[in-house]
Structure 1
Amino acid sequence: MRIMAIQKGDFIKLNYTGRFEDGRVFDTTDEELAKKEEIFNPRGLYGGDVVIVGAGHTIEGLDEDLEGKEAGYSGTVSIPPEKAFGPTDAKLIETVSITKLPDRNVHPGMPVEIDGRRGVVSRVIGRRVTIDFNSPLAGKTVTYEYTIEKLLEEDVEKVQGLLALYTGIRDMEVEIADDAAKINVPTGLTFNQRWLMAKNRVASELFKYAGLKEIQFIEKLTAEAEVPAPAEPEVEAEPASEEEPSESQE
């Protein structure tokens, strides 16, 4: 293993726990802690995420703190809203008529949904209701306790780790030779909308950070195949831009 400071572009395996200032846990890679704090997601992946330092796979403040550390490092970092989940946006706090709500028996702290937008009631005065549509994490200083478990050196590990981050499926079949990768896509992902949006981004990051020159996503369908339900990925897919490299597909 390379013994030197972590730098941008490195693939690392990261374990972490995110807390609010009052100590409440809102995110963790520790399955037992997630269950204890009642935030366990049965479709989530636990045991650590593979991330690329500097690629935006974690919030900005944590991403910056990873640089310069070494594999095996454990530490804690306090992150202000500006480098965490953003400040509270006053434009997303709206006052509406109570008649717009399906349930008119509302109270402060109650989650509501209007026209597909989710928010939390912050105030009720007569027939007027003030709703905060900001993310529950917006405007909050958070603390991350983290451990850099490993610096990944093997290309197959890098590809599998990145795939798990985006798909929620670990240990996908990957073959690499002469800077070209063949990735066998599980049947359950073939028509998964999240995967269809994510795979160009996965390819783009592997071209940029793993030095690959060609990627083949191999999708095979059989009449007898069962369709597994993938875990929820850690990274939300974004539509690929026209400038992103394209991948070949068999």
Structure 2
Amino acid sequence: MSEEPEAEVTEEETDAEEEQAPEEGLQEGDFVRLAYTARTVESDDLVDTTDAEVAEEEGIEDEGRDFEPRTIVLGAGHIFESVEEGIYGEEVGTEGTVVVPAEEAFGEYDPEEVRTVSADKIDEDDRYPGASVQVDGQQGYVETIIGGRARVDFNHPLAGDDIEYDYEVVEEVDDRTEKAEGLLGMYIDADLDMWIETDEEEEEVEGEDGETETETVEKETLYIESTPQLSMNQQWMFQKQQIAQDIIDRLDLDRVIVQETIDGGMGGMMGGMGGMMGGAGEADLEEALEDADVDEEELVEELEAEADEE
């Protein structure tokens, strides 16, 4: 019996196999920690950095932020597209320098975005050259003020500048909590405690017979411990739903729970009583207790006993 000749592989089949082969190196959707320093090409002005030494040299180390590599998602718009293109297919440890053109960075400079407005639209404290102002909901910078008119530049301060971007891919991030921290850090500069747990909950569902049944379901949840800094953050206040949904989608979670812990003691309990009484002073508090026929010493003893039990 003669052997069948081996099938000849065509060029089209080879190309198809290559297209189906898994891509190597870092790809869109990967989480990485990126160290970088970005400067304007023409004037060498610092735009941003994750390097503490560079921040110190530039005199910006006291801006209340941590200068360390940042966790970003490739393909999510967290960095310039030109930088991402240099990272795709590469490995951890890759270093590079990319010049990001102005149109991709902060846009070309548009002379028509320099407009004359009434000085009445600008707060009196901001009526000086260089002041950052909001006019009709648009951010701008005062160029000149003459009489009742102000010349305001509404271009981005870095419009028209090419940006030189030096970077290093420090590591790939696999831990989901670290990923969540990195995602939240793209929106809010805040040091928050967070963790992921799988919770079991009872839910009512409609059975095959149309009757309502109760079953146990698992909810994979990201817990975030809130802080006053987070509660007062304007971006969080106005975009919390969008931010949480982004985290849920990218980490395949069921929900995000932001919780607030209030530690209390005698001071907090008595302070709360004062607040309920409209901020009454000590004399007013004593008078109120007398009117309510409450023994102050007994009340304090009871509160102390409850605090000790806790």
Q: How far is the alpha carbon of 1:171 from its aligned partner?
A: 5.8
User: Where does 1:153-172 land on structure 2 (aligned, <5 Å)?
Assistant: 153-170=174-191, 172=193
Q: Corresponding residue for 1:182?
A: 222
Q: Does 1:49 align with 2:90?
A: no
Partners of 1:183 and 1:206 lie apart in 2 by 12
Q: Does 1:217 align with 2:257?
A: yes
Q: Corresponding residue for 2:102?
A: 81
Partners of 1:75 and 1:112 lie apart in 2 by 34
Q: How far is the alpha carbon of 1:81 from its aligned partner?
A: 1.2
Q: Corresponding residue for 1:207?
A: 248
Q: After superposition, what is the alpha-carbon deviation per residue over 1:180-225, rounded to whole angstroms, capped at 9, x for unaligned?
A: 1231322322454322334333333233332x23123131231549
Q: After superposition, what is the alpha-carbon deviation per residue over 1:131-163, rounded to whole angstroms, capped at 9, x for unaligned?
A: 322111111101110111111112222112222
1:194 counterpart letter in structure 2: Q
Q: How far is the alpha carbon of 1:39 from its aligned partner?
A: 3.4
Q: Corresponding residue for 1:25?
A: 46
Q: How far is the alpha carbon of 1:58 from its aligned partner?
A: 1.9
Cα distance change on mapping 1:157 and 1:135 into 2, 3 Å: same
What is the TM-score when the length of structure 1 is the normalising length? 0.72
Q: Percent identity of the aligned residues?
A: 30
What SS class does the counterpart of residue 181 from structure 2 fall into?
helix
What is the TM-score when the length of structure 2 is the normalising length? 0.60
Q: After superposition, what is the alpha-carbon deviation per residue over 1:32-86, rounded to whole angstroms, capped at 9, x for unaligned?
A: 2112113345222321111111111123333333322221111110010121111
1 or 2, which has the higher helix percentage? 2
Q: How far is the alpha carbon of 1:129 from its aligned partner?
A: 5.9
Q: After superposition, what is the alpha-carbon deviation per residue over 1:88-129, rounded to whole angstroms, capped at 9, x for unaligned?
A: 23332113577877589966xx446364743142x7899976
Between 171-180 and 141-150, the greater mean CA deviation after superposition: 171-180
Kept in 2: contact 1:187–1:219 (CA 8 A)? no
Question: Which residue of 178, 193, 201 corresponds with 2:234?
Answer: 193
Kept in 2: contact 1:56–1:63 (CA 8 A)? no
Matched length: 219
Cα distance change on mapping 1:19 and 1:196 into 2, 3 Å: same
RMSD: 3.3
Partners of 1:176 and 1:71 lie apart in 2 by 29
Partners of 2:176 and 2:52 lie apart in 1 by 27
Question: Which residue of 91, 103, 106 corresponds with 2:112?
Answer: 91
Partners of 2:78 and 2:172 lie apart in 1 by 16
Partners of 2:39 and 2:85 lie apart in 1 by 18
Kept in 1: contact 2:248–2:256 (CA 8 A)? no
What SS class does the counterpart of residue 222 from structure 1 fall into?
coil
Partners of 2:141 and 2:131 lie apart in 1 by 6
Cα distance change on mapping 1:201 and 1:64 into 2, 3 Å: farther
Q: Corresponding residue for 1:139?
A: 160
What SS class does the counterpart of residue 257 from structure 2 fall into?
strand
Larger radius of gyration: 2
Kept in 2: contact 1:163–1:172 (CA 8 A)? no
Q: Corresponding residue for 1:14?
A: 34
2:262 counterpart letter in structure 1: T
Cα distance change on mapping 1:112 and 1:187 into 2, 3 Å: closer
Question: Which residue of 140, 149, 166 corresponds with 1:118?
Answer: 140
Q: How far is the alpha carbon of 1:130 from its aligned partner?
A: 4.0
1:214 counterpart letter in structure 2: D
Structure of higher RCO (CA pairs closer than 8 Å, 6+ residues apart): 1
Q: How far is the alpha carbon of 1:87 from its aligned partner?
A: 1.6
